[in-house]
Amino acid sequence: MSNTATIEIGDKKYEFPVIEGTENELAIDISTLRASTKVITIDPGFKNTGSCESAITFLDGEKGILRYRGYSIEELADKGSFLEVCYLLIFGELPTQEQLAKFHKDIKAESIVDEDMKRILDGFPKSAHPMGVLASLTNALVAFNPSSVNVNSEEDMYKAIVKILGKFPVLVAWTMRKKASLPLNYGNTSLGYVENIHKMMFHKPNEEYAVDPKVIEALDKLLILHADHEQNCSTSTVRIVGSAHTGLFASISAGISALWGPLHGGANQAVIEMLETIKADGGDTSKFILKAKDKEDPFRLMGFGHRVYKNFDPRAKIIKKAADNVLGDLGIDDPVLDIAKRLEKVALEDDYFKSRNLYPNVDFYSGIIYRALGIPTDMFTVMFALGRLPGWIAQWREMRLNKEPIGRPRQIYTGYTYREFKEIDKR
């Protein structure tokens, strides 16, 4: 394979280098295209555009491979812990026991938020969607913490990272507790990172806190599966907002807003709502398959399809199995799990879905587990955000350390050409 690509425009030929990643992916480096040709590329939805070089996450959509820093998602979900994965994604290597203990200790030291944050939360109506509240609270953290990070100082960078890893779960828990009319509490620093999150979310003021270890195991696994997914919509948002040298917390707040959308993380809530609708309608899955195929009908099969995975989503495979295990372990019989399985079977045998390579994605079964763990439906996307936090941090850090330029795409203008201004009485 030649390591240059030739572009012909009119009677002129231009050569551009072809770069290769460690997994042999190829890209034409067009960074000098406009300067040398006056021409730009256009690629709506960035379907063919690499926005950066990154050493964090590799995914092969055709083969259904997902790896964080070289480690397979299957092995990490099976043998790793969420906190280890946070460390791995952000700093590039699995931690030693000492490194992990120090990391956890430093996070715990930062796991209190300013009391005034409660007044901000108080201002939201109970009806507010938790994702909107979480994005606002995350941005509000900036008011109580240094707004910018000196990225040239490893210590400053580390401090900002442990701060957000410490405080974000408190915001997640408070967002849920406010809706549930529970007092805003804190965790317990003697607990593991994920168990502490669970306690902050669920502990009732009049009960001893106790949890089935299987619940923590399931939650840990779900968080690992969501921890990073290279340049998806919310991560690209975090990187582009951060490329203006916006601080870490504000960049993450922007990522939360991007994740909220039903085509992205919001799909996990939309899936359960869809399955409930099918159940209430009598459970006829084929009717909804027909709706999803009808181009006149805006209905889409939520939890199906992916921009990159065109064979299967490895996360969905793990989550489907975990859904079976968790419901079995906890003795829960949720009829929507059967509807989901039937829907998947029908869709996978249908030409419409087969020809378009549409398979269940990470969101198809995750809501069923969240529900079994007692998490309210409108908190599902918040749980996704909690899992994605280390990925956003890692990608933001990488972008700043690589000194990437401010993200600023171009456009092809299709509006009016010059028009003379007419005074209002002449219009």
Catalytic residues: 306, 363
Site string for ligand CMC, 130-169 (x = CB under 6 A): ----------------------------------------
Distance CA 341, CA 319 (A): 12
Measure CA 80 to chain center: 19
> Look-up: residue for tokens 């690209």?
236
367 touches ligand CMC (CB under 6 A): no
Q: Measuring CA to CA, which residue among 185, 181, 194, 238 is closest to residue 394?
A: 238
**Least distance to ligand CMC from the beta carbon of 41, Å?**
18
Angle between helices 82-91 and 193-202 (to 10 degrees): 120
Contact 391, 82 (CB under 8 A): no
Distance CA 116, CA 144 (A): 9
302 touches ligand CMC (CB under 6 A): yes
**Least distance to ligand CMC from the beta carbon of 307, Å?**
4
Three-state DSSP state, 141? helix
Number of residues that bind ligand CMC (CB under 6 A): 20
Contact 367, 380 (CB under 8 A): yes
Contact 410, 40 (CB under 8 A): yes
301 touches ligand CMC (CB under 6 A): yes
Site string for ligand CMC, 12-51 (x = CB under 6 A): ---------------------------------x------
CB atoms inside a 10 Å sphere around CB 406: 9
Among the listed residues 111, 136, 145, 232, the single contact to ligand CMC using CB under 6 A: 232
Among the listed residues 179, 306, 320, 400, the single contact to ligand CMC using CB under 6 A: 306
Of 34-42, 65-73, 279-287, 357-365: span binding ligand CMC (CB under 6 A): 357-365
- Site residues for ligand CMC, 82-121, by CB under 6 A, read none
Of 208-216, 320-328, 361-369, 399-407: span binding ligand CMC (CB under 6 A): 361-369
340 touches ligand CMC (CB under 6 A): no
Among the listed residues 145, 361, 366, 395, the single contact to ligand CMC using CB under 6 A: 361
- Residue 284 neighbours by CB under 8 Å, 6+ apart: 278
214 touches ligand CMC (CB under 6 A): no
Question: Which residue, 264 or 400, is less far from ligand CMC as judged by CB?
Answer: 264
Question: Which residue, 165 or 302, is less far from ligand CMC as judged by CB?
Answer: 302
Distance CA 126, CA 134 (A): 13
Taking the CA of residue 254 as centre, how many other CA atoms within 13 Å lie in the half-sphere pointing to its CB? Answer: 18
DSSP assignment letter at 304: B
**Least distance to ligand CMC from the beta carbon of 347, Å?**
8
Question: Which residue, 67 or 264, is less far from ligand CMC as judged by CB?
Answer: 264
Give me the DSSP letters along 326-359. Answer: HHHHTT---HHHHHHHHHHHHHHT-HHHHHTT--
Q: Is 405 exposed, middle or buried (0-12, 13-18, 19+ CB in 10 A)?
A: exposed
**Inter-CA distances, 246 with 251, 252, 399, 405, 427, Å:** 6, 10, 12, 13, 43
Contact 33, 20 (CB under 8 A): no
Closest CB to ligand CMC: residue number:
305
354 touches ligand CMC (CB under 6 A): no
CB atoms inside a 10 Å sphere around CB 181: 7
User: Nearest 5°: CA angle at 80, between 75 and 85?
Assistant: 105
Site string for ligand CMC, 307-336 (x = CB under 6 A): x-----------------------------
**Least distance to ligand CMC from the beta carbon of 315, Å?**
9
Site string for ligand CMC, 253-292 (x = CB under 6 A): ----------xxx-x------------------------x
304 touches ligand CMC (CB under 6 A): yes
Look at the chain and count its residues.
427
Of 15-23, 105-113, 149-157, 304-312: span binding ligand CMC (CB under 6 A): 304-312
358 touches ligand CMC (CB under 6 A): yes
Question: Which residue, 202 or 304, is less far from ligand CMC as judged by CB?
Answer: 304
List residues binding ligand CMC (CB under 6 A): 45, 232, 263-265, 267, 292, 300-307, 356, 358, 361-363
